[in-house]
Structure 1
Amino acid sequence: MPQFFLNKRLIILLVSLIILVALIGFSLRERDDLTWPEQFVKDSTGFVQSIFYRPAHFVAGFFDNVGYLKDTYEENKLLRARLEEYALLETKVQKLEKENEEFRELVGELDSLRDYEAKPATVIARNPDQWVEQVTVNKGKQNGVEKDMAVVTSAGLIGKVKQANAFTSTVQLLSSLDPKNRISAYIQGDEEIFGLIEGYDQEKGALLLKRIPHQAEVKEGEKVLSSGLGGVFPQGLMIGEVIEVVADEYGLTQTAYVKPAADFYNISHVIIVERALIQQEEAPEDTTEEGGSE
C-alpha cells in the first residue's frame, strides 16, 4: 500500500512537470493575442501598480521638489553674496580708476610746475557748513607747508593755505566769501591785462576779476592766470576763463566774470605750491594782495 502511494505521488509530480513545461513552451511562443487568464493577471497587476505608483510618485516628486527648492535657495543666496561682492568690487575699481586718473593728472601738473616746489596732499576733512569756504589737507609745517602758499589741482588754482598746523593745513578756497581773499591775476590775450580776483558770484558760479582798466578790451574765453606780482604766488597758475565783462557803476573800471578752471565742489587731491626762492627774492613788493589779505 505505501508503495502505491509513492508511485502515485511520483506520477503526479511527473505529470505536473510535463504540464509546467508545456505551459512554459506555450507562453514562450510568439502570439498576437494573450489568453484571458494572462490578460486578467496583467490588467490586475497594472491596476494595482497604478494605485500605488501615483501616490509614491507624488511623494517622491514632492521631496525632490523640496530638495530642488533648497538647492535653489542656497544657490540664490550664494549668487546674492557674489553680486554684493561684485558691486563692492565695481565701486572699488571705479574709485581706484578715478584716483589713478587724478594722480596721473597731478603727476602731469608736477611736471609743469618744475619751477616750483610742489607738495602733493589729500583732502581729509570738509565742513558741510563751509563747503565752499575751506578744506583740510593732510600736510602741515612738518612737511614744509606755510601760510599763504598756493593750492592747486590738476585743473587749476583752488585757493591758498590759510592756516598751517604741524601735520595738517586749512585751505581757503577761491569761492570763499571772505573779502580779504584776493589774488593778483592777469588776462592772457593780445596784451596782458591785470586785475584782482575779489569775491565769488554764487549764482553764476564765477570768480570776480575786478579793477580792470576801463579802456582794456577783454574778450570772452580768454584765460585768467595768477600774475605773481604779490610776491607769494607763482606766476602762471591757471585760474579760469572770462565768460562776461561788465563796467562798474562809475565806469572807471571793469569787472570780468571768470569761470573757475578747477572744480571747487569735488576736491580729493591737491598740490601745495611753494614759490622758488629766487623768484621770491626778485619780488619784494607789497604782499597785501597775496599775503594775509589775499
Structure 2
Amino acid sequence: MPQFFLNKRLIILLVSLIFLVALIGFSLKERDELTWPEQFIKDSTGFVQSIFYRPAHFVGGFFENVDHLKNTYEENKLLRARLEEYAKLETKVYKLEQENEEIREVIGELDSLRDYEPQTATVIGRNPDQWREQIIVNKGKQDGVEKDMAVVTAGGLIGKVKHANPFTSTVQLLSSLDPKNRISAYIQGEESIFGLIEGYDDEQGALLLKRIPHQAEVQEGQTVLSSGLGGVFPEGLIIGEVMEVVPDEYGLTQMAYVKPAASFYNISQVMIVKRTLISEENVPEEEASEEGDSE
C-alpha cells in the first residue's frame, strides 16, 4: 500500500509537469485572441498593478518635487548672492569711474601749469557743523603736503591747506567765514584788476572779491583767477566769475560777488598743488608770513 501511494504521488507530479509544459507551449504560441483564463489573469494583474502604481507614483513624484524645490532654493540663494555681489561691484566700478573722471579733469586743468607739482588726495572727513568751513584729506607731511598749499578740484580752486599732519591734512575752504581766510586774486581782462577774496555770502552763494579800485571797470561774467602774489599760491588757478559789482561801504573801492567755479559741497577728490619754480628760500620771511593771511 505505501508503494502504491508513492507511485501515485510520482504519477501526479509527472502529470503536473506535463500539464505545465503544455500550458507554457500553448501560451508561447502565436494567437489572435487569448483564452478567458488568460484574459482573467491578465486583467486581474493589471488591476492590482494600477492600485499600487498610483500611490507609488504619487509618493515618488512628491519626493522628486521636494528634491526639485530644494535644488531651486539653493540655486535661487546662489543667484541672489551673485546678484548682490554684482550690485556691489557695479556700485564700486561706478564710483571708481567717477573718481577717475574727476582726477582726469583735475589733471587736465593742471596740464598747462608747468610750475606746479600736483598731488591727488581723497576727502576722508567732513564735520557737518563745519560743512562749508573745512575738509580733511588723506595726504599729509609724509606726502610732502605743507601749510598754505592750494587745493583744487576739476572746477577750480576750493581752498588751502590750513593744518598739515603727518598723514592727513585739514583744508580750509574759500567759503569759510574765517576773517584771515584771504586769497590774492585778479580779474582777467585787457588789464588785470587785482583784489582780495575775503569772505563768503551764503545767501547769494558767492565769494566776495574786495579792494577793487573804484575806477576799475569790471564786467559781469569776467573770470577771477589766483594772482600768485607772495610766492606760495600758484598763479592762474580758476576761482570763479563775476556776478555783480557794488561799491564798498565807504565808497572808496568796489566789491564783486564772484560765483565759485568749484562746488564747495560735493567734494570727494582734490588736487593739492605746490609751486615749484619759486621756493620758500627765494621768498622773504615777511612776505611768506603774510601769504597765509593775504593769499
Please give the TM-score of this superposition, normalised by the length of structure 1. Answer: 0.80
Instruction: Extract unaligned runs of 5+ from structure 1.
Output: none
Deviation (angstroms), 1:226: 0.8
Name the counterpart of 2:31. 29
Deviation (angstroms), 1:179: 1.9
Matches of 2:106 and 2:146 in 1, distance apart? Answer: 21
Deviation string 1:82-104 (CA, Å, 9 cap, x unpaired) is: 12221222222223222322333
Name the counterpart of 2:101. 101
- The residue type equivalent to 2:19 in the other structure is S
Matches of 2:69 and 2:92 in 1, distance apart? Answer: 34
- The residue type equivalent to 2:137 in the other structure is V
Matches of 1:16 and 1:290 in 2, distance apart? Answer: 127
Matches of 1:163 and 1:16 in 2, distance apart? Answer: 116
1:245–1:57 distance in 2 versus 1, CA, 3 Å: farther
SS of corresponding position for 2:236: coil
How many residues are treated as equivalent by the alignment?
291
- The residue type equivalent to 1:81 in the other structure is A
Matches for 1:250-269 after TM superposition, within 5 Å: 253-265=253-265, 266-269=267-270
Name the counterpart of 2:193. 193
1:8–1:92 distance in 2 versus 1, CA, 3 Å: closer
Matches of 2:25 and 2:181 in 1, distance apart? Answer: 122
SS of corresponding position for 1:292: helix
1:190–1:21 distance in 2 versus 1, CA, 3 Å: same
Name the counterpart of 2:275. 274
Deviation (angstroms), 1:206: 2.1
Kept after mapping to 2: 8 A contact 1:121/1:272: no
Name the counterpart of 1:292. 293
Deviation string 1:226-268 (CA, Å, 9 cap, x unpaired) is: 1223443222111112234444456554433322222222133
SS of corresponding position for 2:293: coil
1:283–1:216 distance in 2 versus 1, CA, 3 Å: farther
SS of corresponding position for 1:291: helix
1:203–1:36 distance in 2 versus 1, CA, 3 Å: farther
Q: Which moved more, 1:274-283 or 1:222-231?
A: 274-283
Name the counterpart of 1:156. 156
Deviation string 1:109-154 (CA, Å, 9 cap, x unpaired) is: 4432211333444433322221211123344445444332222223
Name the counterpart of 1:126. 126
Matches of 1:285 and 1:14 in 2, distance apart? Answer: 133
1:114–1:45 distance in 2 versus 1, CA, 3 Å: same
1:44–1:74 distance in 2 versus 1, CA, 3 Å: same
How much is the aligned-residue C-alpha RMSD, in angstroms? 3.6
Kept after mapping to 2: 8 A contact 1:139/1:145: yes
SS of corresponding position for 2:200: strand
Q: Which moved more, 1:276-285 or 1:222-231?
A: 276-285
Deviation (angstroms), 1:9: 5.3
Deviation string 1:131-188 (CA, Å, 9 cap, x unpaired) is: 2111233444454443322222233111112223444332211011112211121222
1:78–1:160 distance in 2 versus 1, CA, 3 Å: same
1:194–1:283 distance in 2 versus 1, CA, 3 Å: farther
Matches for 1:163-202 after TM superposition, within 5 Å: 163-202=163-202
Instruction: Extract unaligned runs of 5+ from structure 2.
Output: none
Deviation (angstroms), 1:269: 3.0
- The residue type equivalent to 1:98 in the other structure is Q
Q: Give the share of equivalent positions with the same residue, in percent.
A: 71
Deviation (angstroms), 1:198: 1.6
Matches of 1:190 and 1:202 in 2, distance apart? Answer: 31
Deviation (angstroms), 1:211: 3.1
Q: Which moved more, 1:191-200 or 1:114-123?
A: 114-123
Q: Which moved more, 1:283-292 or 1:87-96?
A: 283-292
Matches for 1:13-162 after TM superposition, within 5 Å: 16=19, 20=23, 23-24=26-27, 28-31=30-33, 36-162=36-162
Deviation string 1:23-67 (CA, Å, 9 cap, x unpaired) is: 4266x3224xx5554444343333322221221111111111111
Kept after mapping to 2: 8 A contact 1:134/1:172: yes
Kept after mapping to 1: 8 A contact 2:115/2:275: no
SS of corresponding position for 2:64: helix
Name the counterpart of 1:207. 207
- The residue type equivalent to 1:116 in the other structure is Y
1:130–1:91 distance in 2 versus 1, CA, 3 Å: same
